[in-house]
Amino acid sequence: MRIGAAITATALTVLFGCATPQPTPYTPRNAEGFGYSVKEQNGMAIANFTGNKDTPVVHAYAFSILAAIDECSKKQQFAVVAKAINQSTEVNYSDVYAQSAMDHNARASVPLSAPQPPKNSSSAKLELYPSFAEAFECRTNLHQMAGLPLTENIRADLVNPITKDKQGGVLLHFELGHVSEGVQDDDVVVMLDGKRTANNVEFYQAIDSAKVGKVLVRVIRNNQLMTVWSKLLDATKDLRDVERQTIDLMCNAIGIEVDELANIPAAAKAKPTVDESKLTPAEAIEYKSGKELCGRLRALNILHKKI
C-alpha cells in the first residue's frame, strides 16, 4: 500500500504561486489544487486532502481520513483505512520537499494522533502546505483471523525452495496477548481456504471470501509445509464501531463537537474550545464545511442497520 509522495513541478507552482489567504474548507479539489480528491492508484483507492498555507495541519490530516469514509458512505459501505501518508510540502522560494510515512500493517485501526508538521528553523519565510493521502477500502463486511496477526510479504525466492511454485508468502506475527488458533507466530501462510496467498492482498482477499469459522491454512513452519486449522472471525460490527470512533476523533480534532463519544482515549474527549462567534469569515467557511461533513457521516454510520 505505497502511495508516491512526489508532486510535479507544475503542481508546486500552483501550490505556492496561487494560494488563497484563507484555510481550505472541505470541498472538491479546485483549480488551485486545494481540497479533497479520490482516485484509484496501483489498485488501491486513495483519498487526498491538500490545504493552502493557512490550513492547519491537523485539519488536512482529518479531512483526508474523513474523505475516505465519505466516499464509502456514498456506497452504503464502511471504510477500512490505513494510516495517512504525509505529503505536506514546505515551500521556501525554490526549496521544496515532501515527507511520507505509513503503517503498512494497519487494518481498520483508529488513527490516534495527527502527525506534526516538519520542522525547519533555517528560514523564517518557510510556508507549509499540508497534504495527506489515505489508502482505503470500502467494505460491507470484514473478516479477521483469530489473534489479529500483523502480516509481512515474504519474497518468492525465500519461499519457492519449499513451495516450488515461484510465488511468495505472508509472514504472521502475533502481538503479546493475542491468542492464535492453529497458526503460530512466524508461520508463513502460502494458502488459505484453498487459495494461494503470495502477498498481503491475496491473504486478506482469501480471508474475506472464506466463511466465518474454521478454515484450512497451508503454512511453512520450521522449513516444512504443513496444513493446520485456523479460525476466522466476523469483525464487521467492530468495523462499524471503529469507523464511528474515527469519525468522532477526527471531528473532535478539528473542533467539531460530536455527541456520545465512546471508547476513545481520554485525551480525545476534551471538549473543543471553538467559539464560532470569534471566527473570521474565512475560518467560519471551513468550520461550517467540517460541521456539515461530520454530522452527515455520523448520521449515515448510525443508519447502517444491517449490523
**pLDDT score at 157:** 92
C-alpha cell at 21: 489567504
* Ordered alpha helix ranges (H), the chain: 9-17, 57-73, 156-163, 200-209, 236-253, 281-303
Please name the amino acid found at residue 199: N
**pLDDT score at 91:** 72
Q: CA 102, 105, 109 angle in degrees (round to 5)? A: 85
Instruction: Look at the domain 143-234 and name its fold.
Output: Pdz3 Domain (2.30.42)
**pLDDT score at 80:** 86
**pLDDT score at 15:** 40
Q: Could you tell me the residue ranges of all domains in the chain? A: 9-141+238-303, 143-234
Segments in the chain below pLDDT 50: 1-20, 93-106, 112, 121-124, 260-268, 306-307
C-alpha cell at 104: 503498512
**pLDDT score at 43:** 67
Q: What's the pTM?
A: 0.66
